[in-house]
């Protein structure tokens, strides 16, 4: 039936090992190439430049303890705490941790205290008490420099823009 000699068996074994070694070698080359490609793909991302922090740099002309920052004007209501003067609307031009710069239609006395709240703020938000530190005409309106009597919490500050 099967007439297999030792030489036939060795020849078959030699061919089998040759095929097996070629397969293992090819697999090794493919694995090494894939590993090299994957390592190239995992290169470190370039570090992005940090956005300029408006609170980081202070000019030499700046005497404030807290840096002002601009933004979109926010409409607010000004209320006289003693209710001696009528309430009026104004706009927040810039803001800081220590106060607000407001634009209002009428002049307010320096040293007077007012309570302010943004118009878009919920009624549950407390009125914030500010002191008028400066008042200067700006066209038909008045520009007020106001200082917080007590710095409000961060959530309230965000409502001012």
Instruction: List pLDDT tens digits, range 32-62.
Output: 888 888 777 555 555 555 555 444 454 555 5
pLDDT in tens, 82-133: 877 778 899 999 888 888 999 999 888 899 999 999 988 888 888 899 999 9
**What pLDDT does 49 receive?**
56
Indicate if the alpha-carbon torsion angle 142, 85, 157, 120 is positive or negative: negative
pLDDT at residue 47, as a whole number: 58
pLDDT of residue 55: 45
Q: Which residues are CB-contacts of 143 (< 8 A; sequence separation ≥ 6)?
A: 93, 101, 102, 103, 134, 135, 136, 137
How many whole angstroms separate alpha carbon 66 and alpha carbon 101?
Answer: 13
Query: Encoding tokens for residue 151?
Result: 């710095």
d(CA 117, CA 134): 19
Looking at CATH, the fold of the domain delimited by 74-159 is given as Thrombin, subunit H (2.40.10)
pLDDT of residue 72: 79
Global confidence as pTM: 0.56
Which segment of 16-20, 28-32, 33-37, 137-141 scores lowest on mean pLDDT? 16-20
Cβ–Cβ contacts within 10 Å for residue 24, how many? 10
The answer to whether residues 115 and 127 touch, using CB atoms and an 8 Å cutoff, is yes
C-alpha dihedral, 9 to 12 to 17 to 20, nearest 10°: -140
In the chain, what are the domain boundaries? Answer: 1-42, 74-159
pLDDT-based confidence at 80, cuts 50/70/90? Answer: confident
Whether residue 73 has pLDDT greater than 60: yes
H helices, E strands: number in the chain: 2, 6
Output the pLDDT for position 44. 58
Kindly indicate the confidence band of residue 142, based on its pLDDT and cuts at 50, 70 and 90.
very high
């Amino acid at each position: 039936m099967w007439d297999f000699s030792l030489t036939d068996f060795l020849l078959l074994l030699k061919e089998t090992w040759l095929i097996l070694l070629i397969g293992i070698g090819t697999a090794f080359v493919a694995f090494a190439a894939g590993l090299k490609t994957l390592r190239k793909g995992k290169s470190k991302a370039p570090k992005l430049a940090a956005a300029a922090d408006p609170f980081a740099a202070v000019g030499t002309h700046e005497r404030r303890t807290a840096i002002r920052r601009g933004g979109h004007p926010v409409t607010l209501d000004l209320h006289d705490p003693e209710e001696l003067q009528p309430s009026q609307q104004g706009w927040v031009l810039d803001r800081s941790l220590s106060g607000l710069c407001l634009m209002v239609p009428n002049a307010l006395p320096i040293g007077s205290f007012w309570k302010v709240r943004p118009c878009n703020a919920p009624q549950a938000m407390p009125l914030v008490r500010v002191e008028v530190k400066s008042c200067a005409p700006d066209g038909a309106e008045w520009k007020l420099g106001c200082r917080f009597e007590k710095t409000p919490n961060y959530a309230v500050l965000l409502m001012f823009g």
